[in-house]
């Protein structure tokens, strides 16, 4: 069902998004963050924890003086490598143990330092490329079912219980498994270490946990003959590090939004902008599909009213992703089925919104979130609302489909809830498989007019943001009714201006390959 929408307005919105992000990109180019620097170390091979379970990358970066870190950690780490002959892991451990400090190495000329780093940089990039290639190969051998790709969450807090749940979900038909993070992890300025069994409303994102899940899912993928994808959450204070870990452990997707942390977690906006850029460059290179968080606009505010804001955020996320070198096929823009179920013709508005996104972002693997806010203890009605969501998704060709749970208002999903959710999606999507292709919206009817109105309001909103500038617009509470100051929020002290000779070997490597790289589908 193609809607007639004003293409010039769409172009206008894209131009506005470019105008809005351009000054932010200038800011990004001139800054780095502690998380970006820690990511560079992790990519080089630094890992492990020191005293008090503090990760080695944190210990190293925290040991730098502000002047020092303005140049980037890489060069001085390269000097240390050259002078000690240690490998990055051992060097990191030594620094963590306090037997060495980076500041003691100053002899090696820049070129030699870069030379000492080069093999590790290349090894890291090769490793990421190898994982990407492995994903592509597995996908070719174990083809997925056609989209909407059914996505469910596991959230027990214990990675081993999560593994049981994930395998069961895959067997029940899930094509993507997300491990929900423990409450508050996005506000930690470090990544926990090792396998974890005590999360709160979710399980910590750690590299070891990633590995445990990836290997369980690889096993079940082979058994089922279809590749089951793994996803986790990047946005937060450690966005670039989680992107790094995900690249290394072959996650397939990551939640990654250019503004979510700012608006919904009160993370400093400058920190977020810089972090999202680096993490997306890496995601692009890893072939990881990002999932943006527009659904969050709808959990607190009315979905009918917020529709233009959702679309505006999609344009901005798209533009930021493009400028990090991401191809459309890796940009999983978000939306959610959150209109009040008791609104007359609410389904028509949902269809309009979903189809609008589909047409404006034809090559993006759209991520469609299920009803949550209006779900209640009435599991029978909840199951029906989920069914209408499933119908909307298959009709409008959404790509990444989060299955709604009939127990959404009650508890994090039981194993059987996930099975019911998957059965719901499979039933509805099969019985109405080509329905969307076999109907046309009435010209100038309710559906088309709604889509046009949302687009028009979105462009007005973007005009306003462009006028104010993105940072000031956020301060003026243009998004989600939330006001954030440019220098307020968490993690601001981890943002710093780059010295003229700032250098991050990965950034340059990724940037070179960036735009050119097109991951296979």
Partner 1 sequence: MSRPVKPYGDTMNDGKVQLSFALPLDWSEAADEAARQLVAKMGFTDVQVVEGRPIARGFSTFVVYASTPQTIDVDAVKAPSVKTHAMSMEEIDAYVREHLGRKIRIAGACIGTDAHTVGIDAILNMKGFKGNYGLERYQMFETFNLGSQVAAEDFVRFAKEHAVDALLASQVVTQKGSDIKNFTALVELLEAEGLRDRVVLICGGPRVTNLMASELGYDAGFGRGTVPSEVAAFVATSLAGMNARGR
Ligand X SMILES: Cc1ncc(COP(=O)(O)O)c(C=O)c1O
Give the footprint of partner 1 on this chain (CB under 8 A). Answer: 156, 161, 165, 167-169, 171-172, 183-184, 200-201, 299-300, 373, 376-380, 407, 409-416, 419-420
**Contact region for a second copy (CB under 8 A) — 37-45, 76-84, 193-201, 420-428?**
420-428
Specify the DSSP class assigned to residue 31.
E
Nearer to partner 1, 343 or 410 (CB): 410
Of the candidates 458, 494, 476, 520, the residue with the CA atom closest to the CA atom of residue 9: 458
Residues ≥6 apart with Cβ < 8 Å to 351 = 1, 392, 395, 396, 447
**C-beta of residue 251 within 8 angstroms of C-beta of residue 231:** yes
Q: Which two tokens stand for residue 97?
A: 């143990």
In the residue annotation, 297 being an active-site residue is answered as: no
In the residue annotation, 367 being an active-site residue is answered as: yes
What is the dihedral angle through the alpha carbons of 391, 393, 397, 403, rounded to the nearest 10 degrees? -120
Return d(Cα 471, Cα 465) in angstroms, integer: 9
How many other CB atoms are found less than 10 A from the CB of residue 90?
Answer: 15
271 is a contact residue toward ligand X (CB under 6 A): no
Return d(Cα 36, Cα 29) in angstroms, integer: 13
Choice from 55, 148, 199, 293 touching ligand X (CB under 6 A): 293
Return d(Cα 262, Cα 265) in angstroms, integer: 6
Choice from 107, 137, 215, 300 touching ligand B12 (CB under 6 A): 300
Of the candidates 329, 396, 395, the residue with the CA atom closest to the CA atom of residue 359: 396
Element (H, E) at 127: helix 110-141
Residue with smallest beta-carbon separation from ligand B12: 201
Among a second copy, partner 1, ligand X, none, what binds residue 410 when CB lies within 5 to 8 Å by partner kind?
A: partner 1
Among a second copy, ligand X, ligand B12, none, what binds residue 1 when CB lies within 5 to 8 Å by partner kind?
A: a second copy
Q: Which of 295, 335, 386, 417 is catalytic?
A: 295
**C-beta of residue 180 within 8 angstroms of C-beta of residue 413:** no
432 is a contact residue toward a second copy (CB under 8 A): yes
Nearest distance in Å: CB 355, ligand X: 22
Residue 131: phi and psi, rounded to 5, are: -65, -40
In the residue annotation, 328 being an active-site residue is answered as: no
Choice from 41, 121, 217, 255 touching ligand X (CB under 6 A): 255
Q: Which two tokens stand for residue 22?
A: 């351009």
Nearer to ligand B12, 202 or 341 (CB): 202
Return d(Cα 236, Cα 258) in angstroms, integer: 10
Nearest distance in Å: CB 345, ligand B12: 22
Specify the DSSP class assigned to residue 497.
E
296 is a contact residue toward ligand X (CB under 6 A): yes
Nearer to partner 1, 363 or 427 (CB): 427
94 is a contact residue toward a second copy (CB under 8 A): no
Binding region for ligand B12 (CB under 6 A): 155, 180-181, 183, 201-202, 296, 299-300, 372-373, 375, 408-412
Binding region for a second copy (CB under 8 A): 1, 341-348, 351, 380-381, 383-385, 387-388, 391, 406, 420, 423-424, 427-428, 430-435, 437-442, 445-447
């Amino acid at each position: 069902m193609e809607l007639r929408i004003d293409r010039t307005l769409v172009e206008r919105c894209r131009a506005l998004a470019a105008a809005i992000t351009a000054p932010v990109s200038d800011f990004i180019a001139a800054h780095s963050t502690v998380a970006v620097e820690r990511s560079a170390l992790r990519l080089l091979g630094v890992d492990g924890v020191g005293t008090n379970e503090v990760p080695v990358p944190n210990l190293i970066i925290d040991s730098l003086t502000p002047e020092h870190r303005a140049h980037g950690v890489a060069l001085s780490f390269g000097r240390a490598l050259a002078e000690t002959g240690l490998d990055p892991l051992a060097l990191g451990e030594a620094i963590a143990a306090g037997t060495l400090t980076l500041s003691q190495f100053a002899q090696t000329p820049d070129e030699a330092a870069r030379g000492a780093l080069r093999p590790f940089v290349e090894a890291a990039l090769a490793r990421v490329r190898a994982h990407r290639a492995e994903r592509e190969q597995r996908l070719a051998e174990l083809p997925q079912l056609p989209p909407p790709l059914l996505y469910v969450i596991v959230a027990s807090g214990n990675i081993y219980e999560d593994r049981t749940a994930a395998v069961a979900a895959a067997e029940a038909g899930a094509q993507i498994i997300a491990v929900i993070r423990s409450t508050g992890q996005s506000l930690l300025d470090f990544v926990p270490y090792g396998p974890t069994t005590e999360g709160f409303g979710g399980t910590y994102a750690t590299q070891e946990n990633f590995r445990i899940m990836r290997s369980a899912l690889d096993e079940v993928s082979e058994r089922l003959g279809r590749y089951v994808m793994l996803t986790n959450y990047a946005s937060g204070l450690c966005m670039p590090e989680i992107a790094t870990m995900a690249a290394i452990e072959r996650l397939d997707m990551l939640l990654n939004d250019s503004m979510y942390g700012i608006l919904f977690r009160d993370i400093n906006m400058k920190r977020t902008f810089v972090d999202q850029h680096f993490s997306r460059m890496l995601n692009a290179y890893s072939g990881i599909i990002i999932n943006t968080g527009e659904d969050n606009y709808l959990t607190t505010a009315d979905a009918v009213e917020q529709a233009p804001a959702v679309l505006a955020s999609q344009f901005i996320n798209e533009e930021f992703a493009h400028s990090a070198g991401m191809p459309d096929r890796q940009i999983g823009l978000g939306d959610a089925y959150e209109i009040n179920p008791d609104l007359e013709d609410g389904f028509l508005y949902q269809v309009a919104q979903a189809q609008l996104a589909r047409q404006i972002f034809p090559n993006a693997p759209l991520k469609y979130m299920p009803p949550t806010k209006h779900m209640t203890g009435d599991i029978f009605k909840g199951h029906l609302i989920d069914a209408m969501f499933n119908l909307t998704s298959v009709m409008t060709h959404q790509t990444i489909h989060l299955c709604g749970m009939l127990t959404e208002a009650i508890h994090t999903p039981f194993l059987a809830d996930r099975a019911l959710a998957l059965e719901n999606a499979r039933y509805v999507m099969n019985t109405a498989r080509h329905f969307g292709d076999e109907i046309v919206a009435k010209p100038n009817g309710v559906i088309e007019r709604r889509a046009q109105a949302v687009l028009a309001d979105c462009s007005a909103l973007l005009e306003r943001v462009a006028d104010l500038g993105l940072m000031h617009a956020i301060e003026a509470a243009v998004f989600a009714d939330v006001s954030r100051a440019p220098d307020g929020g968490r993690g601001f002290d981890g943002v710093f201006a780059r010295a003229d000779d700032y250098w991050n070997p990965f950034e340059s490597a990724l940037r070179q390959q960036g735009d050119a790289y097109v991951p296979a589908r």
